A and B are shown apart, each in its own frame.
Chain A
Amino acid sequence: MDDGLRILCLAMIIAVVCFLLIPIAVTVVMAFDARAYLGPLPPPGFSLRWFRQFFADDYFLRGLGTSLQLAAAAITISLSVGVATAFAIDRARFPGKEAAVALFLSPLIVPPVVTGFALLLFLAEMGLVNGFARLLAGHIIITVPYTIRATLAGLAGIDRSLTEAALVLGATERQAFWDVTFPLARTGIVSGAIFALAVSLDDVAVSIMLTDAHTYTLPVALISSMRANFDLSIAAASVLLMLVTLALILALERFVGLNRVIGQGVFR
């Protein structure tokens, strides 16, 4: 009975891991397919033709350019606003502080399509028609809660007596902040930046509502070409996006530690 259960569980685990990995493996293999069309597996030969096609496509390149500029601008704003907000909340003692934190994190619980649709209507009403400005507005509001949350988590782990010791030893408020508190909070800030970057680069649901004919992000471009013609230059783009994910994960592991991202239990 117990052996039967063990085998059943093991079989299920293997099946689940296969389900998670096989589509990714298929995509990677097909991205290097040498054929000029979408044919059955396995490809008879390998080449970089689909990568070349991706980088020769103005539609994708334009999206990639917008995505990178947008991510850079949105992260800069979200990170500075988020860090300032988290420091202010962390220092202040006022009634309803928990409610204030909940309000600042509330964009996380709104379905992104709803956020996008609300912004579409409101920004049109306000007369904001510039595509990049609209996208920037959308990307700021979906990334800022992550920077606030991560910085707050980073600050929560800091022993306040360290800052107080610096003050007692003659440091000014400003010195104590920049030399003691800020470096200690850096882990939280970095993980906030990584999360914000991942969110900004991956978003479709908000961006698709805010694009105009000339300004669109790479994910939006990929989605519309996925709906139009299902060719393998998207597989090549997928491989590139996987590399971005890997780079973000490695950065997270290097600067923050994955165990701190997922939380720990007592009995190991």
Chain B
Amino acid sequence: MKADGSFPLLLPAIAIYLGLFFLPLSWLLLESFRLYTPGGIGAAAGAPLTLANYAELLTPAFARFFLETMQISLLASLTGVLLAFPLAYWITRKLSARWRAIAVGFFVTLMFLSVLVRTYALELTFGAAGPLRPFLLALGISPNSRDYIAILVGAGLLHYIVPMATLTLLGTIQNVDPRLVDAAEALGAPAWKAHLTITLPLSMRGVLAAFLFAFTFSISAFIIPMILGKGRVLFISNLIYNRFSEIADYPSGAAISIVLFAVALAIVYAMSRFVAKQWTP
């Protein structure tokens, strides 16, 4: 079969993608080179082009936010995949079919859980006014300290990453032939060594996919750092919103957006380059 008159079916989609996606993104790119002039939404028409919006991002005050976003995202993604691996292994290998189905349902539900609910629940439980407060104070940890807030933002990311990575790894671990580990153990390898030298390397693709998913999710997270970070820990995405809501510096917001977009693209490129096709979104 060839393109047999089904092209008109594509026209609505082409119109929508052009008008609501490709043109706005191109406009964003153009805006990021405009000189900032206070006023209405967007730079003044015909404002001169400049690199100032990008140059500003290289100053230490800005670079700090980028570094912090990357740092917390990286730590949360690594921890999440590290915690998810034994979980996924346990679900695939140690549970009966019935319990496995229940566990899958449990993690799918957790992954689908509204990010609002997730964030509110974590703030209510671990936040400064939560039930953990006396316990934290007894340990000498101030729930208002910057470090604690940064950890809380990481915990917010983890609350999504763990279920997501567990589900991603289920299929991967199912594809590792369990007889290989049995053979290694029969030949005298301790269980930890058998897993470290067989299960883990054979699941590396899935592990990498889960990690890259987690990292993309983390760097573009918005509500989790906005609420749990309480304005003291800000992610790149929060910075973009603040450019709009607080100081109405649209060209600067556009430049930050383009940088965040470029980082996300680089990760997706890595994913398509190093990870099997079926894992890419």
Contacts and interface: CB of A to CB of B under 8 A. Distances in A.
B57 interface: no
The 6 closest A-B pairs by CB, nearest first: A265-B174, A111-B220, A23-B121, A122-B24, A88-B9, A118-B24
Contacts of B171: 262-265
Interface residues of B, number: 94
Contact of A119 (B24, B104, B175): B24
- Chain A CB within 10 Å, residue with most, of B116, B127, B163, B260: B116
Interface of A: 1-2, 5-6, 9, 12-13, 16, 19-20, 22-24, 26-27, 30, 38, 40-41, 80-82, 84-85, 87-89, 91-94, 103-115, 117-125, 137-138, 140-141, 144, 148, 198, 201-202, 204-205, 208-209, 219, 222-223, 226-227, 230, 234-235, 238, 241-242, 244-246, 248-249, 252-253, 258-259, 261-268
A40 B220 CA distance: 33
A109 B260 contact: no
A100 to B, nearest CB: 9
B268 A92 contact: no
Contacts of A222: 116, 120
Given A27-B121, A114-B261, A204-B115, A121 B281 contact: no
Contacts of A103: 17
Interface in B8-33: 9-10, 12-13, 16-17, 20-21, 23-25, 27-28, 31
Contacts of B278: 263
Chain B interface secondary structure, helix, strand, loop or mixed? Answer: helix
Contacts of A245: 109, 112-114, 117
Contacts of B59: none
Contacts of A141: 16-17, 20-21
A154 to B, nearest CB: 16
A88 B83 CA distance: 42
B142 interface: no
Interface stretch (B48-56, B60-68, B143-151, B222-230): B222-230
